[in-house]
A = this chain, B = another copy of it.
Amino acid sequence: MMTMEALYGGKGRALIGSLTFSAEDIIRFASDFDPQPFHLDPEAAKSSLLGGLCASGWHTAAGWMKCFVPYWIGEMKRLAGEGIAAPKLGPSPGFRNLQWLKPVYAGDTVSYYVTFLESKELASRPGWRINTILNEGENQTGETVIRFESKVIEFP
């Protein structure tokens, strides 16, 4: 089995997937989790600070995970095809410095990227590692709309 570091370190950023935020999807997510006028009502949103219907930041963040899961399944298959056992990833202990940099408006397409930053061995558990990954989402005009660093546990 190769470590994430051996596989992805120094490789720059990888596109993990894209997601188009339809008005319907924005309103459905916001109705459940973030019922504010600029996430629910296109007319009310026009007179808000954001100027138009836009996705809840929590929706934009969850969209990263929506892309990462199938990306990682694809990576496991790709590596298996090359005879490499993919690193085993555990639950994430969290992340830091999430920034919502620009609104994601209805109809926008966000492309999500990951960049491997660093890996450390967990002193308490031999063979376990904690990796830091930079995650970014860009809209269709290349503006970064979301950025955060996540921690991913890797175990033997």
| B96–A97 touching, CB < 8 Å | yes
| B92–A57 touching, CB < 8 Å | yes
| A34–B96 touching, CB < 8 Å | no
A13 at the interface (CB under 8 A from B): no
- Min distance, Cβ A140 to any Cβ of chain B, angstroms: 21
Residues facing B in A134-156 (CB within 8 A) are 148, 155
As a 0/1 sequence over residues 83 to 101 of chain A, the CB contacts with chain B under 8 angstroms (1 = contact) are 0000000111111111111
On chain B, the residues within 8 Å of A122 by CB distance are none
Beyond A32-B62, A33-B66, A61-B61, 10 additional pairs, beta carbon < 8 A:
A34-B62, A34-B65, A34-B66, A34-B69, A35-B69, A38-B91, A49-B91, A57-B91, A94-B148, A96-B97
- Min distance, Cβ A153 to any Cβ of chain B, angstroms: 9
Complex Cα spacing A95 to B49, Å: 20
Complex Cα spacing A56 to B62, Å: 9
